Structure 1
């Protein structure tokens, strides 16, 4: 694994996070509609627990956003070039630790269908399915839960 650091996101990261989302190959084709027009804003970063993984020269490798009320992993992305290097696992482990620090006992994840197995490998349990909400989301999504205690 490459050298990296996880730090709290700052307002100036917003555009880079948006670009990482829109560059994600996981959201091409049938899944593109869910991120169409989506933007991470400085306000979003200020309101939520957003953390970024950066390499030794400050290049963005991935990020996640933890909502505290209600407890939910709202966003989690790893740059295509960093996939398979363990960055995603480290970000999720960091998220679980952050959830514990603020007193959360579990964290909900409404997963991108192809990411379900990733979350399950890291300990999330499937608790249900979220129905489609056309036109933006035309497919069912797995609902999972991480227990943090």
Structure 2
């Protein structure tokens, strides 16, 4: 169901490389920590991730991939979860310390490869409002708005489609 692919970037843009691998059950606590400690979900967005848990069962049931540094002892820098039916990016987080290094773009490139292997032509993305600009920058097109669903989600969210072909 996917392989370990190494995506390399220009050294001047950050770390020499990042390996993207299939997440495993033992990653659950690290992935949960990325979600619950994300600065993007502070303030009014905090209720969305309060008590959120990425469990081993979720990791085993979905196509979850983690970006990890190539060096020994490197931690998880970010991750995404792809749901194949119906096609949707369920989760995508990049650690606060890894923001701005191109990790998100590497995850999107991997997502596109994985979606193509699954025979998908596009993937639905319901974005955290502050992340809309990022998704648009990688080629997602706005298709609508998903209405708030209190009490956890108190704001409307942009709904987009990400083509899995070339951006």
TM-score normalised by the chain length of structure 2: 0.87
Q: What is the CA–CA distance in structure 1 between the aligned matches of 2:99 and 2:45, rounded to whole Å?
A: 18
Q: How many residues were matched structurally?
A: 149
Task: Tell whether 2:131 aligns with 1:112.
Answer: no
Q: What is the CA–CA distance in structure 2 between the aligned matches of 1:103 and 1:87, rounded to whole Å?
A: 24
What is the aligned partner in structure 2 of residue 89 from structure 1?
Answer: 105
- 1:35-84 per-residue CA deviation (whole Å, 9 max, x = no partner) reads 11110011100111100011123311000000011100000000000000
Gaps of 5+ in 2: 1-13
TM-score normalised by the chain length of structure 1: 0.97
Root-mean-square deviation over aligned CA pairs:
0.8
**Which residue among 75, 91, 95 is the counterpart of 1:75?**
91
What is the aligned partner in structure 2 of residue 145 from structure 1?
Answer: 161
Task: Tell whether 2:28 aligns with 1:17.
Answer: no
Q: What is the CA–CA distance in structure 2 between the aligned matches of 1:48 and 1:107, rounded to whole Å?
A: 15
Give the Å deviation of 1:130: 0.4
Task: Tell whether 2:63 aligns with 1:52.
Answer: no
Q: 1:103 is paired with a residue of what secondary structure?
A: coil
**Which residue among 103, 107, 114 is the counterpart of 2:119?**
103
Give the Å deviation of 1:126: 0.2
> Post-superposition, which runs of at least 4 consecutive aligned residues in structure 1 deviate over 4 A?
none
Q: What is the CA–CA distance in structure 2 between the aligned matches of 1:128 and 1:92, rounded to whole Å?
A: 21
Q: What is the CA–CA distance in structure 2 between the aligned matches of 1:148 and 1:26, rounded to whole Å?
A: 26
**Which residue among 122, 125, 140 is the counterpart of 2:141?**
125
Q: 1:136 is paired with a residue of what secondary structure?
A: coil
